[in-house]
Structure 1
């Protein structure tokens, strides 16, 4: 029920990632989520924090993948 109220508000702020951000916000305490529904400023701030966390996570994943690829050698596991 909270998600149904929260999603359209989040979608106005962050269309592409609305479902993911809404899910993240719903993990918060219920009273905090209710506050977000009542305060557009607080909601905007939390959506910004969630987007920053997602960007940081994506960067971390990209760096991890790059590190893994750079550690591979073309000669590894070749059968002679």
Structure 2
């Protein structure tokens, strides 16, 4: 089981979503990923959550971190 991390700084534009999708495709079954946002933007968070769910991930937890960051932790289902 591996852990992956993706830090997103600033706003996400359309091409960034494609890069996010490419990155999470590397995550294998039973691996987990933590995606950190530099600030909570509901639109960005919702779209990333939909990408994760569509690609067969369970969202384990999400919420605020220290210093105003927001995170989503998910793992890949079999």
On whether the aligned pair clears a TM of 0.5, the verdict is no
Higher strand share: 2
Q: What range describes the TM-score normalised by the shorter chain of this pair?
A: under 0.3
Higher relative contact order (CA 8 A, sep 6+): 2
Q: Flag the structure with higher helix content.
A: 1
